[in-house]
Amino acid sequence: MNKRDRHEGLGSGGFHNETLVIHSDDEVSNDGTVAPAIYYSATFRAQNAAEFADMAKTPHHPRYYTRYGNPVHERVEKVMAELEGTETALVTGSGMGAISTTLLALVSAGDHVIAQTRHYMSTAKIMDELLPRFGVEVTLVEQADVTAFADAIRPNTKLIMVESPANPTLVVTDIAAVAELARPRGIIVVADNTFASPINQRPHDLGADVVVHSATKYLGGHHDLIGGVICTSHELAERIWRTHISIGSVLSPMDAWLLLRGLRTLPIRVERINANALALAEFLEAQPQIERVYYPGLASHPQHELAKRQMRGFGAVIAFAIKGGYEATERFVSALKLPYNAVSLGGVDSLVVHTAAMWRGVMTEEQMRIAGIPPNFVRFSVGLEHIDDLKADVLQALQAI
């Protein structure tokens, strides 16, 4: 498999993503069923003592003890490695499980980490509080500025964490440029690809060493499970797995099975979600009640050219600001009938959040302003409802404010 082929959407054996998500796991525990079996077993029997000894010393064995691996995990891992173009993958019990396990596996006291000023909130907490507690220094940089990453590099820089596009204003990081800074210095680049999905962006092709996901979002795709995935080389995966079995962020076999079911339709879901979201973003931009729309697929996004270069589609999440302030924004969100007022993103149902309402009580208005969250800010994760119905719903809610 070469990278050029992958950019045409082709993976192992020359197959497209739509085929890879159905067949990459064909050879795992092939017991003649068409739908995969759920291996609801905490532990697995060896045929004899020699086999047991072998299982016990094989890293990431899929049939030894479910914290170490499980046949349903193995299926998900095969599919995800194909989609991200990495040698292998490791599933975890949540997206945060994937991120914290990766970071704790790869950095030690005395190391330096570079991360972005904007990250998923719990990732930001790892950078602000957890890593410093263990003697790891962290520098946060403005992600839109590649020279800020370059200037932050020190002799002890071990890892750079990127996340693109990032909440809440969908700022984009030039992943290839960051990877180019890191590679000659032996710095590991970890990319949180949750907001893009592997259908829209492949950070490993752009030079990232480790790609992490919250599988809770597009990969599962139905708002029914919490899970995570780490996609990387055999070498790094084994190092991360050794920490994983100590931390114990394990995906249940049932949730792994639901995740596998979700992955079977990932390419077609993301394709339709991309189309719906772009159409809705353009529609919003044309409405007089809207102050500004943030979506990397719009020509008005300050990094639209970069987004087009590193993404094949722009995803579900649109952010926008409503004219009229906090109360008007509350009225708008309450007047919407189709999207549920709930956190998360990338699933079949549209979800909407009034960001300032979510953070009120947790952050002061001043802190929100610094974080780029004005009081009239809305985050909309576009689902698979018909685009005409979504537009009509948004229009009636705008007229209600």
Nearest approach in angstroms of CB 156 to ligand PLP is: 26
C-beta of 66 vs 216, nearer to ligand PLP: 216
Which tokens in the block code for residue 162?
A: 């990127």
x/- contact string, 134-173, with ligand PLP (CB under 6 A)?
Answer: -----------------------------x----------
Q: CB 186 → ligand PLP: shortest distance, Å?
A: 26
Angle, helix 266-285 to helix 387-400, in steps of 10 degrees? 40
162 alpha carbon, distance to own chain's centre: 11
Residue 120 as a binder of ligand PLP (CB under 6 A): the answer is yes
> At 181, which helix (H) or strand (E)?
helix 175-182
Phi, psi values for residue 294, rounded to 5°: -115, 110
Number of residues that bind ligand PLP (CB under 6 A): 14
Positions in 38-97 near ligand PLP (CB under 6 A): 94-96
Residues catalogued as catalytic: 67, 120, 192, 217
In whole angstroms, the minimum distance from the beta carbon of 344 to ligand PLP comes to: 7
Nearest one of 298, 302, 263 to 284, comparing CA atoms:
298
Q: Nearest distance from residue 96's CB to ligand PLP, in Å?
A: 4
- Interface with ligand PLP, residue 194, by CB under 6 A: yes
Binders in 224-263 for ligand PLP, by CB under 6 A: 226, 228
195: contact with ligand PLP by CB under 6 A: yes
Question: Which residues, 174 to 193, sit near ligand PLP by CB under 6 A?
Answer: 192
Contact 181, 153 (CB under 8 A): yes
Alpha-helix residue ranges (DSSP H) falling in 8-165: 17-23, 49-57, 71-84, 95-106, 121-125, 131-133, 146-152
Per CB under 6 A, 353 contacts ligand PLP: no
Q: How far is the CB of 23 from ligand PLP (least distance, A)?
A: 26
Angular region, 29: left φ>0, alpha ψ -120 to 50, beta rest: left
In the block, residue with structure tokens 């001043």: 366
- The window from 35-43, 133-141, 212-220, 303-311 that contacts ligand PLP (CB under 6 A) reads 212-220
Task: Report in angstroms how near the CB of residue 5 gets to ligand PLP at its nearest.
Answer: 28
- CA torsion angle for 21, 163, 105, 204 (degrees, to 10)? 50
CB 25 within 8 A of CB 81: no
Q: Which stretch binds ligand PLP (CB under 6 A): 11-19, 50-58, 175-183, 210-218?
A: 210-218
Q: Strand, coil or helix: what is 76?
A: helix
Q: Are 280 and 388 in contact (CB under 8 A)?
A: no
**Residue 51 · residue 28 · CB < 8 Å:** no
Q: Which is nearer to ligand PLP, 247 or 395 (CB)?
A: 247
Q: Does 214 bind ligand PLP (CB under 6 A)?
A: yes
Binding site for ligand PLP (CB under 6 A): 94-96, 120, 123, 163, 192, 194-195, 214, 216-217, 226, 228
